[in-house]
Amino acid sequence: MEDDKDSCEMLVLIVRRLYPELVTYCAGDGKTGWELFRQHAPQIVITDLSMPEMDGLQLAIMIRSQQPRTKLIALSADLERAVQQRTGHETLVFDHFLAKPFHFKALMAVIDEPGPA
């Protein structure tokens, strides 16, 4: 989920090219992201922390409560500020944090990392 439509579409295109076996969806806000999650129950969710309607942390908490094994990856343009404002829930909810702009090799490493057993 990414509130910048162009960034979201670019991310989806790259993930589709690198991982053609993955089915991908793009949501411009947390509420739409939640609806897509409920419909499709993906194994991996990449979300911006700062989004309209529902932020990435709220979305991740809801996802984690429904599907504890979903890999949750947080993106933030200002990761330092996001870390300073953390409530403590993030470390319990997200599996990984990536600062924007991120290198796709870093994202690929996170996607390729085995999930919980």
Direct distance between the N- and C-terminal alpha carbons of the chain, in angstroms, rounded to an integer: 25
Q: What are the tens digits of pLDDT across the range 41-51? A: 999 999 888 88
Q: What are 50-81's pLDDT values in tens digits?
A: 888 888 888 999 999 999 999 999 888 765 55
Strands (E), the chain: 44-48, 71-76, 96-99
Interatomic CA distance for residues 88 and 79, integer angstroms: 14
DSSP 47-79: EESS-SSS-HHHHHHHHHHH-TTSEEEEEETTH
Three-state SS at 96: strand
Q: Which residues of 71-83 are buried (b: 16+ CB within 10 A; e: fewer)?
A: bbbbbbeebeebe
Chain position carrying tokens 């979903």: 70
Put simply, whether the predicted model's pTM sits higher than 0.85 gets the answer: no
